[in-house]
Structure 1
């Protein structure tokens, strides 16, 4: 993976991540490099300030384009602004009062863009344990009773971010997409304090039930997919919800406790982890994570399952993918991008084309 900041991996990774999303409208390369050039490596406040500034500047361009009736340009510009605000919010600690404000700016910009799309997504709200899970339904235009993928992100990720890549890669393969902020993610966490949970099959089943009751989709052609920490969520969901036709794991997580066991207490995402599991310190967080394991669970997965993982993943070691694969007893596929190749970083962000075989496979599973 390319390191813009040789002395700071996490900052470099986030830059590579948004550059990858730029292929799908989530940024413009030179705007991203402009923002990156203002950041002092390791300085989280400068990271926020620079990306927030970039977001504000691009948002102003979007507003001007819309006012002048240049709606195609406005749509594209709102999308970039939305993702820049997501970056600005990323490392902000949950106690920072600006975090939800920045998050809200990004969501608003995304929804302004969505309203200008040729086929705007449907905003959805799924009742769940007295609250709601919200997200977006991107339907393949003109399709009736077609296949669907239900998708979650990872850690505290946002539904809006999953537009940049999965939407295009699935819709153009004839598969509609339901993107959700599950427990511990996006609106569910930031606005409703809905904490993450080890039994992610419960919200996944709620999403499945809601989809077949409210969307024009084929209940026998619904897949589950998730990315990063979502690799655990997707696997857990498929293990206990056997109506899923296929399971796509975009970076496997076999044991999330092991992922965090050797990370320092002051890891850049420690405060976020504590927040999503609802504890005060890392000792308590690690104790919570002992439940987040696929040991003695993997073999319950019955549907065909595909794992895609980077061989040089510094966030979730490739051994986690191998452990998951080895214990699968269903029809299974493993795609490891070699460590000496682009695309070998976490979630293939350093070359998103390396995840295309997973989407091709999902097409084969759900559209045949």
Structure 2
């Protein structure tokens, strides 16, 4: 049997029986792919185990270190003593908040870098961070809103409006948004919101005092009731992000190639932007702006599994949660008898990593 053009075969001619005419088999290649897949699955399992360890450390370690037996008793037979209050009312909500925020920021960063093709991009490029901050400041200054739960909803609304404005400004007539127009529009909107926020807080000392507490990204001092409110938004964002993986792989080859492969580029961009807005907006609303997670985590995940977003996204979600909770635990030791907020710790860790990423050009190739 001869190999005819357009038959869809590449390499040795194959027969109906399976092995090629040259005697080479496909199973070796299949075995390599299977081994790679097995390693990646094992990597996910390992990260899940590390995440469980980080969560356990978050519950055990603090101003008062608890042993596992005490924590188990507090969870199973709460008697209302000091240990029970520490575990059930302080550390468990803090750990849950860190888990949701880390997953959201890690995924949001991977999506943002994938859609903008910008290795130094993070979710704040869409303007969601300063959009949320602007909404909070307006609520404090004009309405006197100081309740953290109400501020969280204001921040989420502000993040969504800012992302929508960026999407509309960055949309090219007839083509929709492109990576360059999104980055430019997001930067412009972010700086505009930043200028307005700075102007308002400088006009009123009381607004500055209230805003300053929210502005420092933190897992402490947050109302535990925001956690069940976060879960639906995070769940929808995760589903949309994972559904966006195949389209991101196609977009990495160019928009024309993605269209030729049957993907609707506009729909793929919109899905990614909605996922980023949900994930980042709800986290900024609940915890305040937490920097560097969305920047660092995708690079770590890419170094582990490459640029295939089907694996990059779940790895980024787990690594984001691990990094955020590890930074939160580390902050409890750095300023005794108090602690450093997780946003400050991540800035201390993230700045050197940022320099490292810039200097290692190999990491800048997406």
TM-score by shorter chain over 0.5: no
More strand by share: 1
Bigger helix share? 2
Q: TM (normalized to structure 2)?
A: 0.29
Max Rg structure: 2
TM-score by length of 1: 0.29
